[in-house]
């Protein structure tokens, strides 16, 4: 079994905000996989899906972002899932809107949800898919910006990001994380290194 966790804040007032890109991805996967997220287990909305010979347990924590690790720890313990079978999806201001990045491990940076997850489960050795919501406009406060809804003219780029993130999760579940990193990371990093 795999655990696929999307980070966000619960409540209708946060549903369309930039900080809830992880929730949006988990909701998209649930719809694509024909399952319904329900709020009965592990302080989260959850759903169990079958993908070929694998099971994927979708998790959208009902704790607020800075306590996401509580729900992740409970789900890992309740489903007996080790960190190497965990995928966390979340928003990232350091990545441009319309782009994603895939990593097999790494530090949480300044993202409060990831700080909570890493601190609570005691390891950063798990896969993550980061959905770009940046860049932060000049003069804007990051904490306020991430809690604003996506603008109308940003929605096509968001849709592209979610489509690619869903594909990346599928690739990780299929054991192709290296291919996912090459596909979704390399072309953007190469462009940055060339000064494009």
Per the annotation, the verdict on 111 as an active-site residue is: no
Least confident of 42-46, 83-87, 184-188, 192-196: 192-196
Per residue in 2-39, pLDDT (tens digit) is 999 999 999 999 999 999 999 999 999 999 999 999 99
Residue 186, CB-side half-sphere exposure with 13 Å CA sphere: 6
- Which residues pair with residue 96 across a beta bridge? 134
57 Cβ neighbours under 8 A, 6+ residues apart: 1, 2, 3, 4, 46, 47, 48, 49, 75, 79, 81
- CATH code where residue 117 lies: 3.40.50.1470
Examine the pLDDT at 194 and tell me if it is beyond 60.
Answer: no
- From 4, 6, 19, 131, active-site residue: 19
| pLDDT (average), residues 67-88 | 98
Domain containing residue 99: 2-193
Domain count for the chain: 1
Per residue in 103-149, pLDDT (tens digit) is 999 999 999 999 999 999 999 999 999 999 999 999 999 999 999 99
């Amino acid at each position: 079994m795999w655990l696929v966790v999307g980070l966000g804040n619960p409540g209708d007032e946060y549903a369309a905000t930039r900080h809830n890109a992880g929730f949006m991805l988990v909701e998209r996967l649930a719809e694509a996989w024909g399952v319904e997220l329900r709020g009965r287990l592990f302080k989260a909305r959850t759903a169990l899906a079958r993908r070929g010979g694998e099971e994927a347990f979708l998790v959208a924590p009902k704790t607020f972002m800075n306590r996401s690790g509580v729900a992740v720890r409970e789900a890992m313990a309740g489903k007996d899932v080790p960190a190497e079978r965990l995928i966390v999806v979340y928003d990232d201001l350091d990545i441009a809107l319309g782009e994603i990045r895939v990593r097999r491990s790494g530090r949480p940076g300044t993202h409060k949800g990831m700080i909570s997850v890493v601190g609570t489960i005691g390891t950063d050795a798990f896969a993550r898919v980061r959905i770009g919501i940046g860049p932060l406009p000049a003069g804007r406060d990051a904490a306020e910006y991430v809690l604003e809804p996506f603008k109308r003219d940003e929605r096509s780029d968001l849709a592209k990001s979610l489509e690619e993130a869903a594909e990346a999760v599928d690739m990780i579940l299929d054991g192709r994380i290296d291919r996912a990193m090459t596909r979704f990371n390399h072309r953007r990093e190469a462009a940055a290194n060339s000064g494009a």
